[in-house]
Amino acid sequence: DKRLFLSTAQVLILGERLSQDGIEEVLDFFQRDHEIDYSMTVLVAKGVTPREILEMETDMESIPAVYINKTVENTVSRGTVKRIMLIDLIKDIGGSGRQPAIGQISKAGEKKVITEGTAVFSDGKLAGWLNLYETRGYLFAIDKVKSTVVNVPADEGKIAMEIIRSKGKVKVAFENGEPSMLTVKVETQANVGGYEGKGALELAGQSVFSGENSGGGNKKRNHDGAGEDPKRIFQRYIRFWCVCVQIPPSELLVPVIPLIVVIISLSLITVHDFTAFLPILKNGMTPVLNAAFSFITFPFGETVAFLMLFPHVNKKEKLKKIVLLSAAISILLGIILFFRDISVLGSDLMDRATFIPHLTSLLIPGLNVEPLVDINLLIGGGVKISVCIYAAAKALSQIAGIGDHRKLTGAITTFCVVLSIWEYKNVLELFDWAEKVWPYYSIPFQIIVPLLLLLLSLRKKGKPSNAVTES
């Protein structure tokens, strides 16, 4: 009867019988739960039920999920299992031409598990198994092995080769419109990590021997603030620095947004799939026009709030140039994000996803860039909220005849926070309202009212003055 907190789940183990019947319905449940952790590891139990694995009491860890995750990490380093996250599995199931391959887990005694081998799926159902050697070959082919140790037979023993670099590529040749040949090319570079055998190991006419040991010590130097790194001083006293050199904090923070977008986009180059754009205009122009309409109101329509800032800028002569440049940069960033998300996630997953930047950040291999996404959200959201509150306070102060608009800032902020909690029970209700109601609700405030005010101001400006001049 207890509530499940899926946001803290670290491992998802699928049963063998469930996998044979099909896992699409199970994945659909997890995908639609907004509290789920998409980075959890997914495994398939072989010869044992998931319940038996999770009820094990191990000597290594008190929490089974932690023990299983560490076991998977060790096995991945040996290149005998493929670690797949929930988000990767959802992509493979939903994408055309993809068949999932999930790491397997089984018991090795009463207090130990083995995570070697792969469960292969076809059309969402378990089709077969790969042993640890077949799994290693598969991982080499799909370029998922970066560093591991491989034992190579020698004449009188064996050699342990440490793979330091590997590159795999799979090509398909077509004949008469049908696939005729599959070519797998793997290039590796390795060091001799160890040798077990009799005599010296001969390579290119020279004995291969291992090395020289050099000792060294770590030196620690104490220094006072006079010799401290200026970068650390800047980080520690950023507010004081901005005041001294007269740089507004916004000029330091806002450029971070496009920088983070570029960093994340470049990091995702290795996982892109440009075939996700095909077929183009599969459902005609109607979905494109609907998406374009929503973009008109959000985010571009909301820039009307910046009109309240224009009369108070210091350099009005540069206003037009800055507005055009900002619009061009925003459009360029939007295009980059669109191409990045489509090529990485695919249109099907994007259509069902709740927060797309979070999903894309999980796909960067070997890096956790979720903090960068949060930083962008805080900076962009902070600037937007500040401008909207300023515009509302300024307008209300002018209507009510209040001299200092800052007196209304606290009241407006509190009202918005209370209204949001009162109006929406959770973030999903907010997203649903923003998608279905906001594009139409915002039209009067973003387009009609500003146009009426513009027409009134132009009419007043063009009206001849009634003042009588005296010579």
| In a shared domain, residues 50 and 1 | yes
What are the beta bridge partners of residue 178?
175
Do 74 and 156 lie in one domain? The reply is no
**Is 467 inside a domain boundary?**
no
Query: Same structural domain for residues 394 and 259?
Result: yes
Is 385 inside any structural domain?
yes
Of all residues in the chain, the percent with pLDDT exceeding 70 is 85
Q: How much is the pLDDT for 250?
A: 62
Q: Say if residue 133 is in the same domain as residue 268.
A: no
Residue 167 belongs to domain spanning: 146-199
Whether 459 has a pLDDT exceeding 50, the answer reads yes
Query: Across the strands, what pairs with 106?
Result: 114
pLDDT of residue 20: 93
Are 69 and 190 in a shared domain? no
User: Taking 70 as the threshold, does the pLDDT of residue 50 lie above it?
Assistant: yes
The answer as to whether 468 is a domain residue is no
How much is the pLDDT for 248?
61
Q: Count of domains in the chain?
A: 3
- Please check whether residue 208 lies inside any domain of the structure: no
> How confident is the model at residue 205, as a pLDDT?
40
Q: Could you tell me if 151 and 261 lie in one domain?
A: no
- Backbone φ and ψ of 155, nearest 5°: -60, -45
Are 16 and 45 contacting, i.e. CB atoms less than 8 angstroms apart?
Answer: yes
DSSP percent split of the chain into helix, strand, coil, nearest 5 = 55, 15, 30
Cα distance between residue 230 and residue 294, in whole Å: 46
**Residues 332-379: pLDDT tens digits?**
888 888 888 888 888 777 777 777 888 888 787 777 788 888 888 888
- Whether 253 and 380 map to the same domain: the answer is yes
Kindly tell me if the per-residue pLDDT of 272 is higher than 70.
yes
Average pLDDT in the 15-37 region? 86
Residues 134 and 104: their CA atoms lie apart, in Å, by 13
Q: Which residue has the higher pLDDT, 90 or 283?
A: 90
| Token code pair at residue 265 | 């986009």
Predicted local distance difference test score (pLDDT) of residue 218: 34
pLDDT at position 94 over 80: no
* Tokens matching residue 308: 């309240």
In DSSP notation, 161-177 reads EEEEEEEEEEEEEEETT
Q: Which two tokens stand for residue 173?
A: 């040749």
Greater pLDDT, 117 or 302: 117
Of 123, 144, 165, the residue that ends a domain is 144
Residues 380 and 288 occupy one common structural domain: yes
Q: Is the pLDDT of residue 261 over 90?
A: no
Q: Do 368 and 425 reside in the same domain of the chain?
A: yes
**Is residue 253 domain-shared with residue 111, that is, in the same domain?**
no
47 has a pLDDT exceeding 70: yes
Local structure of 139: helix, strand or coil: helix
Average pLDDT over residues 319-325: 84
